[in-house]
Amino acid sequence: MSTYSWLARQMLAPSLDLARGTHAMRSLAELETSQWWPLERIKQLQSKRLSYLMEHSWASVPYYRHLMEEQRLTPGDIRTAEDLLKLPPLTKDLIRNNFEDLVSTHFPRQELRRTTTGGSTGTPLVFFGTRDDQLSHGFARGMRSLEYAGFALGERRVLIRIARQHNSAKERFLHNLSRPVERLIEIDSRHISTHSLPDIVRLLRQPNMRLLGGYPSVVSFIASWIRETGANRPALDAVVTGGEQLFEHQRAAIRQVFGSEPYSKYACNEFFDIAMECREHNGMHVHAEDLIVEVVDDDGNPVPPGHTGRILITNLHNFGMPFIRYETGDSGSFVAGDCPCGRALPRLATVVGRRFDFIYTPSGRRIAGSGLGTNRLALLPVRQFQFVQEDLDLLIVRVVPRVDANAEDLESMRVCIPPLLNEIVGDDMTVRVQYVDRIELTAGGKHLLVISKIDPNSWLKRASTGTDQ
Ligand SMILES: [Zn+2]
């Protein structure tokens, strides 16, 4: 540990906690210990926290009071993660329609932090969090994630993401206060372009720069640019990606350029860090002390490890606006067995993109973006690509060619890409290549691999023998 890291951990961060009235360092120390607990002990802690959350929700959150009364339940009926099955999932529509009733009456409104989710799931969602949940527990989870990648508080890192909106000057001030403690440089992902890349790579090459974090599409874009231009490679200890699914072709590009296997994490604005890969890179350990993550089928019943289902999350610390069995819109599966790293925290396998990131074929198949053979496209002189399903039988592959691709390359890709895709989606879809200068990001600053303009519900009706892939 460097002197600065020691200082950050022992002096600066505790002072920051004191100034903000938070307890991030205490929470981090607890998480550093509990990550090695046996599963049974972690579940006991979950149950204790869940019981408290249910009591609190019964007493001060009208939505849950009504819901439990309707279901003839009392807080005592929901003590363990398994008991959660008695409650229906909380969808974004339910949140919008019951917004006021979901806010706890225990908190003066001005004490709550108004937060929004990005636009990657379509319409943004507004909700309230507490300082305790976000600045203490959320921060601690984020830090523990980075520790999995060998990083320590106070070491230098660059984070590329959509810039956070602050509700007040005070919030912005507190946020900026923590930057020097963390020695974190934030870059707004919307400003990433071929013009800004030389400066960013120079920044990454600064002495003692340890870690780069960001969306996989952005980080792999930087990796591809370094590879193409032959720029000097930054000597980073670790690369951490999150906010989107990390595809195999992106992993390969990052590994090749930065010389190490990237760490994938699962995080979102609603919960901050949810799960993070350990050095085994075989699934992401859920931060299960703070969050109960369920994987369920379409009827809301749990599915066994290895089987994909909808991801529901309960936050055990947001007492301002409790999210119990929140429908994330993501799907994923648990990894079976023990992890050789020694942590008993459950592991999520790759979280498959948002639920609408699917191609729907005329023959009734639903294919996730990860199933479209993206690693084969990555072998071509391509910098970025995106699949757009314009119609049930028309798939456009938008391609940003590499700068060194010549006219012959372009013509050859125009010919060779469609059959590669037809092998996967079937011959009853027309596949066309469209060359573009850049792939537009969503309003939330994310890169979507798949955009389907097909309404899944009408497709379901048309496809009589639908199977998932
Ligand atoms: Zn592990």
Are 441 and 190 in contact by the 8 Å Cβ rule? The answer is yes
Each residue's pLDDT expressed in tens, for the chain with a length of 469 residues: 788 899 999 999 999 999 889 999 999 999 999 999 999 999 999 999 999 999 999 999 999 999 999 999 999 999 999 999 999 999 988 998 999 999 999 999 989 988 877 544 444 578 999 999 999 999 999 999 999 999 999 999 999 987 776 767 777 777 777 777 888 999 987 677 777 889 999 999 999 999 999 988 889 889 988 988 899 999 999 999 998 778 888 899 999 999 999 999 999 889 999 999 999 999 999 999 999 999 999 888 999 999 989 999 999 999 999 999 999 888 899 999 999 999 999 999 978 755 446 788 888 777 877 677 776 777 788 888 889 999 989 999 999 898 888 999 999 999 999 999 998 888 999 999 999 988 877 655 667 788 888 776 666 666 544 444 4
Report the DSSP beta bridge partners of residue 115: 127
394 alpha carbon – ligand 1 mean position (Å): 42
Q: Hey, what are 301's tokens?
A: 């019943």
Q: How far is the CA of 352 from the centre of ligand 1 (A)?
A: 20
296 bridge partner residues: 302, 310
Q: Which residues surround ligand 1, an ion (CB under 5 A)?
A: 278, 280, 339, 341, 343
- Which of 269, 277, 302, 274 has the alpha carbon at shortest distance from 286? 274
CA 29 to ligand 1 center in whole angstroms: 19
Q: What is the pLDDT of residue 446?
A: 64
Residue with tokens 């296997």: 261
CATH no. of 1-354? 3.40.50.12780
Query: Which of 36, 59, 48, 109 is closest to 81 using CA atoms?
Result: 48
In the chain, where the domains are located: 1-354, 358-468
Q: Indicate the pTM of the whole model.
A: 0.81
Q: Which CATH number, 3.40.50.12780, 3.30.300.30, 3.90.1150.10, 3.40.50.1360, labels domain 358-468?
A: 3.30.300.30
Q: Determine the distance separating the centroid of ligand 1 and the alpha carbon of 341, expressed in angstroms.
A: 4
| Short-list 137, 85, 106, 461, CA closest to 299 | 85
Residue 357 has phi, psi (to 5 degrees) of -80, 55
Q: What's the pLDDT score for residue 462?
A: 64
Distance 282 CA to ligand 1 centre (A): 7
CA distance 77 to 83: 7
Instruction: Yes or no: say if 191 and 162 are a contact pair by the CB < 8 Å rule.
Output: no
Rg (Cα) of the chain, in Å, rounded?
23
User: How many angstroms separate the alpha carbon of residue 84 from the centre of ligand 1?
Assistant: 26
Which H/E stretch holds residue 313?
strand 309-315
